[in-house]
A = this chain, B = another copy of it.
Amino acid sequence: MNQVREYLEQIVALDDKNWEVFSSKLKKSEFSKKTVLVKTGQVENHLSFIEKGTVRFYIPKVENDITFGFKFENQFISAYDSFITQSKSQYQLETMTPTTLWRLTFSDLQDIYNNTTVGETIGRKVAENLFMMKTKRELSLLNDTAEERYLKLFSEQKRFIKEIPLKYLASYIGVTPQALSRIRKRIS
């Protein structure tokens, strides 16, 4: 649970009183590999912090899923648009490895917004951060070729390349597995 506090402290000053409210809501859950955390058509009811593990964001398809994100330990995850609006999720979250989460429900979060002085600020900053990451990715999808996106991943996030199956990476980059296989060949 200290990991969560440390993460939040980076965002906003958090005194013991605020942390008390926050931490009293957190519930620990463990999931095995390939567990679907949120299914399409369901309403996301959790905002979760990854203590350990890897989670994939994707739209399930008969042939190949469209994978559009990966999250690792020390990051918050959620089908956040579904969560915020409490409407059906368009995409799924699935663990790629055994995963430990600290979770808040939607009503937990409303309590935090109402009963802490820093809740809203945290919520704002988290949303701002999510927005900035999406902006960066959008520009990369428009600006860079598939090969450039792959090379960027390689330099910025070596971890991605090593742990994640090619077919998911390919989708994330925006090409077919065959195309990424050829890109790899061309580079090396």
Contact = CB atoms under 8 A, between A and B. Distances in A.
Contacts of A130: 127, 131
Classify chain A: how many residues form its interface, as a range. Answer: 20 to 34
A14 interface: no
B127 A131 contact: yes
Contact of A68 (B81, B113, B127, B138): B138
B59 A135 contact: no
B142 A141 contact: yes
A80 B125 CA distance: 12
B127 A134 contact: no
Number of copies: 2
Contacts of A142: 66, 68, 141, 171, 174
Q: Which of A66, A130, A142, A171 has the most CB of B within 10 A?
A: A142
B91 A174 contact: no
Contacts of A66: 139, 142-143
A128 interface: yes
A9 to B, nearest CB: 18
B132 A81 contact: yes
Interface stretch (A46-54, A94-102, A116-124, A161-169): A116-124
A88 to B, nearest CB: 14
Given A120-B120, A124-B120, A124-B127, A135 B132 contact: no
Given A80-B131, A138-B138, 16 more contacts: A66-B139, A66-B142, A68-B139, A80-B135, A81-B135, A84-B128, A84-B132, A120-B121, A124-B124, A124-B127, A127-B131, A131-B131, A134-B135, A134-B138, A141-B142, A141-B174
